[in-house]
């Protein structure tokens, strides 16, 4: 289980090597994504709070990166944070998400990206529920819900 100190260490010292890479040109991403998806996932944008019903969905399943299909989060780690964005306590795999210091907008935060294709997901904060204390505040537009096959 990752903790806030683990996240800070990864952001500072480097992320785990991804199991694979998906790389496309800007033109290729533009052809695959809607304008809003491209703005958020490829240009580090943020969707408007409470703009997605994904915040209220808590059925069993997993959440994958919209851009490359890598499974990132499981519904068992999803919780209602009241922030207006889907929130999770842990990724499904330590190598699925990468962490980067983000000093934009006059504050220091930890950005979460897909470790496979570098899509911007959102940010991680140390104010989540026990036991990890983490809150992955993720843009719903950067995710797609996938059902478990089991």
Indicate the Cα dihedral angle 95, 120, 55, 65, nearest 10°: -50
Domain count, the chain: 1
Q: Catalytic: which of 55, 68, 114, 137?
A: 137
Range(s) of the domain holding residue 73: 4-146
- 137 annotated active-site: yes
Give per-residue pLDDT as tens, 65-121. 999 999 999 999 999 999 999 999 999 999 999 999 998 888 889 999 999 999 999
Token pair listed for 126: 């140390």
Residue 131, domain CATH: 2.170.150.20
Give per-residue pLDDT as tens, 107-140. 889 999 999 999 999 999 999 999 999 999 999 9
Gap between the Cα atoms of 131 and 129, Å rounded? 6
What global pTM score does this model have?
0.94
Contact (CB, 8 A) for 132 and 2? yes
Residue 88 per-residue DSSP state:
E
Nearest 5°: the CA angle 126, 131, 136 is 40
């Amino acid at each position: 289980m990752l903790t806030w100190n683990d996240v800070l260490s990864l952001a500072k010292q480097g992320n785990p090597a991804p199991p694979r890479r998906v790389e496309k040109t800007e033109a290729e991403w533009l052809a695959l994504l809607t304008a809003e998806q491209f703005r958020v996932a490829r240009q580090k944008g943020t969707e408007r709070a409470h703009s997605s019903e994904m915040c209220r969905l808590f059925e069993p399943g997993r959440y994958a990166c919209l851009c490359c299909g890598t499974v990132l989060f499981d519904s068992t780690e999803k919780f209602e944070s009241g922030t207006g964005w889907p929130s999770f306590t842990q990724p499904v795999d330590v190598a699925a998400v990468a962490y980067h210091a983000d000093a934009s907008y006059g504050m220091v935060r930890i950005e979460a990206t897909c470790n496979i294709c570098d899509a911007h997901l959102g940010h991680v904060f140390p104010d989540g529920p026990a036991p990890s204390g983490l809150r992955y505040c993720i843009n719903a537009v950067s995710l797609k819900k996938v059902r478990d096959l089991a």
